[in-house]
Structure 1
Amino acid sequence: MDISTTANPHPVDDARLAEILASPGFGIHFTDHMVTIEWTPERGWHDARVTPYGPLTLDPATAVLHYAQETFEGMKAYRHPDGSVHLFRPEENGKRMIRSSQRLALPKLPVEDFVAAVEALVKVDERWVPDNADGGGEKSLYLRPFMFASEAFLGVRPAQHVTFMVIASPAGAYFKGGVKPVTLWLTEDYTRAGRGGMGAAKTGGNYASSLVAQQEATTHGCDQVVFLDAQDGTYVEELGGMNMYYVFDDGRIVTPATGTILEGITRASIIELAGKLGHQVEERRFSIDEWREGVSSGAITEIFACGTAAVVTPVGSLKWAGGEVPAPASTELTMRIRQALVDVQFGRADDTFGWMHPVG
């Protein structure tokens, strides 16, 4: 795909950029450029371009505003100690966007074009990729590819005009002051997705549906919410934005099976990494009773969650109306896995898996 580039005539100056990268936060500041690609049935994907970052002009009848036909991805670019910039498994994000697009009746953007679009933005805005000169930092450039129904039409059908875009935002370490266990609230009133639904798609509606349950968790002093399956209300699915793992005293690791949950790129990477470290990983249904009983008996020695932003985080106590399960005693394997993954991402360890994709 040919991608044209129009440089921003007023990029953020070096002094201001240095201030931003010193304390970037998350999703607050945005780079100088963005990528846009259009799709119509007649022309397919066309008019791929890098342009100055700026607001969109949308007709009030734009379909996505009414019927939520959209998908998105989340990924990062990392600056390695030698100054080079790498993406983490971008092809897997491209494949997942295709799966999400199929579920949302959106056109499929070929993986090679997805990766080319992301690379084009990172190349033009490479100065926005933070370095970690101290050797132990976790600053990166967060990338948000997304696709939406941009046709102005109120009929309920797949849109005949679709727009794909990529924007980027520098991101600081998810945990300020060190990694801390997250406390979880078990919602018994809300579910995230059901069989045949959109649970495995990365679409905004899944996140919107989690917000009221997250409010409930916050009200009860918890950091995140745990969702159970919609059919039986028995099996653990995932958190509002992270996948789950349970470490047993015999070294096994269990993670809930996919189908109604998001197939996380970090999740898949941890399964590979844990196997290399000598741990058998089981993907299966995992009940809330097995969680409670496993922690109480000591059979479950660690619990952790993973996602693009936090990478890996230990899980603390689980609370629900009328009860609580304390945190498992250990975080040893959790932190070992986390450090091994982060070291590969930031170029501090050999990439024996072939996960890192150089930009340039």
Structure 2
Amino acid sequence: MNASLDGWNGANRRSRGNDRNAADPAQQPEIRAGVKKRVSALTRGDDPLVVSRDAALMPGLLTAGFAQRVRGIRSAELPAGALLTFHRRGLDAGSKIETDLPDEAGSAYPSPKGPFSRVKRPLPADQIAYAEVRPLAHPLGEALAANEDIFEDLNERGKLGFGHPEKGLIQTDVMISATCLDGQWTDIDVVPYSELSVPPNMQALHYGGAFFEGMTAEWGEDGKCYVFGLEQHWNRMMKSARTLGTKFVPFEVFEEAILKVCQQNARFIPQNGRLYLRPHGADVGKQMRVGNSRIAGFFVEVTPIGSAESYFGDIERDPDGNVKGKGLGVPTTQVRSGKGLPGNSKGVQNYGPTPVVIRTVCSLNVGTDEAPHRPVGVLYVDRVTDGLGDDAMLDAEVRETNASNTIFFEDLGDGRYLVITPSLEDGDILPGNTRALILEKARDRGWEVEERRVTLREIASGKFVAAGNCGTAAVFSPFDWIHFAKIQPGSKPEDKWTGELVGKKIDIRSQDAINQEPIPTPVRLLMEDVLAVKSAKNPSDTTRYLTEIPGIKLKAA
């Protein structure tokens, strides 16, 4: 339903000077009564209320208090409340992007605030096309300000990593949500980036019923934007949902959500970086006892990140001028998963215990006090090795790092390599989509590929000439050495975790090899192959691996 004040314009508006955006006081009660009636109808499941710009700007009509009351509406027909948003005439995609898409999410009212960005002013009146009050799929809290100032600064300086080093992830304009009640999914909500409102007895908070994926979208050489591995990521999310006994959206809903969140956040897709997508699901019902609730939630947020090359960082050297090789710590007292456990899904249960291990390992020093040299991550194995003895510890089998798969290389001569990666047969390793692409590109090069068990003893033997870990964000990053590390909690609950290095550093590459080639040849070549796929260089690869984001395109230089 639309409401407008079409008769109040032209000369009548101009004659009111500074009050030109104020409606005739005699008209306000009628419009206010109409809005109140439509909001009441909205709670019964009727269509969203849409009012014209003139009505939206009436003093006292759509106020902050009104917006907060609308958001707090709860009824049997409207369990998640409603949202008031102001919408532009078209999507604000920035100055470098062509688009004629509508502004679907709108701007939240009251104006959002953010901890790392200036307080946002309301959308300028001359940009407002209409205001809308609509039902929500999932309750929202306060709208959050997009960090475009941080994004623009880091992007211009070529310093986009995974968020700001001190201020955290960069917030964008728009997020997606949907819910499922007793097997029936709502339509997706395209809404301003906001806090989620959840009850304290939400099932996922108590029993870990949550899962996620990591995806990327980036500009191709043809100026179009593409997302990688859409169907593969959906398949893996379905598997994670089944593991947890909860529901997940059909593929067509997932696809719509991914495309829309990229479109509506187009101005945050860097030309020399990527848009990182985080779709996630959870058991969001009120239950607080073993089992699944009746309600599942689906959400998608995004954040701009740097290019794959940026993950290598600057080359660091020690006081003697040697390049510092990158290394991983191997915990002797922890495993990430095991046979019979769901290590092959992206459920939160696989990642919750890892941050304290990663933080402790990365605080250790294989160098000196004057020239510290620390691990950059964790390499998990299949067993606890503490107390086994130096030789028996080497029989442990490699699994994966804290967030990526591992790949090793033997030199076959004549520019060919044997590519070896731990097998997925035990079900305790995540079947990475980047891993699968790398193995396929290795075969395309005529290299041999083996998926089998890999022991630490093989690494210590010196047979491998390079190793790397691969995943969505890092793509493919080398590591040059490993070191056992004993990580354990303190004796008292309030004590910090402690770590100590065990045994000697195990080198995969010699210092001379690292100095000569900080990024080893096989890692570099396969990373170039992966980046060529994601930048749509080859039409056959584009058809096979990529999905175009319609409606947005880079302007010609």
Alignment TM-score, normalising by the size of structure 1: 0.89
C-alpha contact (below 8 Å) 1:73/1:146 kept by paired residues: yes
Residue 106 of structure 1, aligned match among 243, 246, 260: 246
Asked whether the equivalents of residues 460 and 508 of structure 2 are also in contact (C-alpha less than 8 Å), the reply is no
AA matched with 2:465: T
- Of 3, 21, 26, 2:162 maps to 26
Q: Which residue of 1 aligns with 2:333?
A: 189
What residue number does 1:168 align with? Answer: 302
The equivalent residue for 1:287 is 455
Q: Which residue of 1 aligns with 2:188?
A: 48
Question: Letter of the aligned partner of 1:341 in structure 2?
Answer: V
Q: Encode CA deviations 1:243-276: one digit per residue, 9 max, x unaligned.
A: 1111112221110011101111101110111110
Match of 1:135 in 2: none
Tell me whether 1:236 sits opposite 2:335 in the alignment.
Answer: no
**Alpha-carbon distance in structure 2 between the residues aligned to 1:181 and 1:87:** 32
TM-score by length of structure 2 reads 0.59
Indicate yes or no: 2:532 matched with 1:343: yes
Q: Which amino acid aligns with 2:311?
A: Y
Q: How many angstroms does 1:107 deviate by?
A: 1.0
Match of 1:332 in 2: 521
* Residue equivalent to 2:438: 270
Q: 1:186 to 1:14 in 2, by over 3 A?
A: closer
1:203 maps to what in 2? 347
CA distance in 1, matches of 2:294, 2:382: 34
What is the alpha-carbon distance in structure 2 between the residues aligned to residue 241 and residue 270 of structure 1? 16
Measure the CA separation in 2 of the matches of 1:284 and 1:124.
43
Give identity over the alignment, percent. 27
Residue deviations 1:178-217 (CA, integer Å, cap 9, x gap)? 6985311111110000112121110222112222321332
Aligned residues: 345
Cα distance in 2 for residues equivalent to 1:46 and 1:178: 49
Contact 2:146 2:171 in 1 (8 A): no
Q: Which residue of 2 aligns with 1:304?
A: 468
Partner AA of 1:201 in structure 2: S
Match of residue 198, structure 2, among 45, 58, 62: 58
Show the 5 A alignment for 1:116-265.
116-132=256-272, 139-172=273-306, 173-177=310-314, 181-220=325-364, 221-230=374-383, 234-250=396-412, 251-258=417-424, 259-265=427-433
Q: 1:15 to 1:278 in 2, by over 3 A?
A: same
Corresponding residue SS for 1:252: strand
Q: Which amino acid aligns with 1:225?
A: V
Query: Would you say the 8 A contact 1:248–1:301 is kept in 2?
Result: yes
* CA shift digits 1:72-118 (9 cap, x unpaired): 00010101233311001111111110111111111132223212211
Given the superposition, is the C-alpha separation of residues 264 and 351 from structure 1 closer, same or farther in structure 2, using an over 3 Å criterion?
farther
Partner AA of 2:340 in structure 1: G
Q: Secondary structure at the match of 1:101?
A: helix
1:115 pairs with one of 220, 243, 255? 255
Check the 8 A contact 1:34/1:165 in 2, yes or no: yes
Shift of the alpha carbon at 1:282?
Answer: 0.9
Give the Cα separation in 2 of the matches to 1:147 and 1:305: 26
The alignment status of 1:92 with 2:258, answered yes or no, reads no
| Matched residue SS, 2:222 | coil
Question: Contact 2:410/2:418 (CA < 8 Å) preserved in 1?
Answer: yes
CA 1:263–1:275 in 2, change beyond 3 Å: closer, same or farther?
same
**Would the alpha carbon gap of residues 276 and 109 (structure 1) be closer, same or farther in structure 2, given more than 3 Å must change?**
same
Q: CA deviation at 1:231?
A: 8.2
Task: Give the corresponding residue for 2:479.
Answer: 315
RMSD value, Cα: 2.2
Q: Is the 8 A contact 2:146 2:170 kept in 1?
A: no
> Which residue of structure 2 lines up, in the alignment, with residue 8 of structure 1?
107
The alpha carbon displacement at 1:319 in A equals 1.2
Task: Check the 8 A contact 1:185/1:318 in 2, yes or no.
Answer: yes
**C-alpha distance in 1 between matches for 2:325 and 2:190:** 40
Corresponding residue SS for 1:300: coil
Q: Distance in 2 between matches of 1:177 and 1:5?
A: 40
| More RCO (CA 8 Å, sep 6+) | 1
- Measure the CA separation in 1 of the matches of 2:303 and 2:148: 16
8 Å CA contact 1:181–1:313 kept in 2: the answer is no
Change (3 A) 1:154 1:18: same
State how far apart, in whole Å, the 1-side matches of 2:234 and 2:311 are. 24
Checking the alignment, whether the CA contact within 8 Å between 1:78 and 1:346 is kept in structure 2 is: yes
Secondary structure of the structure 2 residue equivalent to 1:144: strand
Give distance in 2, aligned partners of 1:110 and 1:182.
Answer: 41
How far apart are the structure 1 equivalents of 2:148 and 2:342? 43
Q: CA separation in 1, counterparts of 2:410 and 2:379?
A: 20
1:339 is paired with a residue of what secondary structure? helix
Letter in 1 for 2:314: G
Q: Is the 8 A contact 2:334 2:384 kept in 1?
A: no
Residue equivalent to 1:80: 220
- The alpha-carbon deviation at position 351 of structure 1 amounts to 4.6
Structure 2: unaligned runs, 5 residues or longer: 1-102, 109-122, 124-144, 164-168, 317-323, 365-373, 386-394, 485-501, 551-557
Structure 1 residue 159: deviation in Å? 2.3
Partner of 1:136: none
* CA shift for structure 1 position 24: 3.7
One-letter amino acid matched to 2:441: L
Q: Alpha-carbon deviations, 1:104-141, whole Å to 9, x = none?
A: 11113222321221111111111211113xxxxxx110
Question: Which structure would you say has the larger Rg?
Answer: 2
